[in-house]
Amino acid sequence: MAKSNSKAGSLKSVFALLLLFGPALILIFISTRGCEHKFKELDDYGVIPKFSFTDAKGKVYTNRSFKDKIVIYTTIQPSCPDSCGITIWHLDQLIYQSLRENKKKMGHVKLVSVLTDGAGNPDKRIKDVEFMLKDRVEGFDPSIWIVVTGDAKALYDIKHNGQTLLQEDKKYFGGFGFQELMLLADKSNHLRMVLPGKTESTIRTMRDHMALLEKEYDIKAYKLKKKR
C-alpha cells in the first residue's frame, strides 16, 4: 500500500505541472464526411527556447537542425532503464517502434533524448546509453531516436501562466520535474504539448497528439492543394 501511495503522489505532482497547459489537454475530435475533419488543434505555446546539443559523433544540434521536423523531446539517464525520468519501455513500444516501422512516411518525426545525470545536469555518457538502447530496443536507429548531451534545462526553460517547467522538489525524479516531461514541438519549433513520460497512458496520449499534429499538416496541405 505504501508503494501505491508513493506512486500516486508522484503522478499527482507531475500532473500539477500540466495545469499550466491545461487547455491543450482537452481535445475535441469530431469526424465528418470528406477528407477534412473538424477538430481542436493543439494549442501553440510559442517557440522552444534556444539550445545546443551534441551527439556521440560530435554532431551539433540546434533549433535550426529540426526545421520542418516534428520532434518529441525527453530526458534520459545512464541509470536507465531501471531508474529513469521517463518509462523507456513504453516510449519504445508506443512511439519509437511506430516511427521505425513507418520510417519512409514518418522520417520527418524525431525522438530526441537529452542525457542528464539524474540530477538535471549534463552527462556525456552517450555511448553507454546508446549501448543500452541497442540492447533493449528492437531495431534501434540513432537517426530516429537521437541521444544528445547538453544543458537540458535550457530546453525546458519554458514559462506559462506565471509558472515554469523548471520546478524543483524532492518529489520529482532527481529533484527536477522537467526530467519527467515530454515536449512535442511542431515543424516551426513551437511547443504544442507537454505530458509526463512516466506512465503508459500519458505516453500513449503523446503518441495520439503527435498524430493529431500530423493531421493538422495534412489538412493544411489538402486545403492548399484545393486552391490550386
Binding-site residues, in ranges, read 80, 84
Q: Which residues are annotated as part of the binding site for Cu cation?
A: 80, 84
Distance CA 6, CA 1 (A): 9
Nearest by Cα to 137 from 95, 199, 182: 95
Query: Are 178 and 165 in contact, with CB atoms under 8 Å apart?
Result: yes
Distance CA 16, CA 43 (A): 18
Neighbour-count burial for 10-19, b at 16+ CB within 10 Å, e otherwise: bbebbeebbe
93, 135, 157, 202, 219 from 15: Cα distances, Å:
23, 31, 18, 10, 31
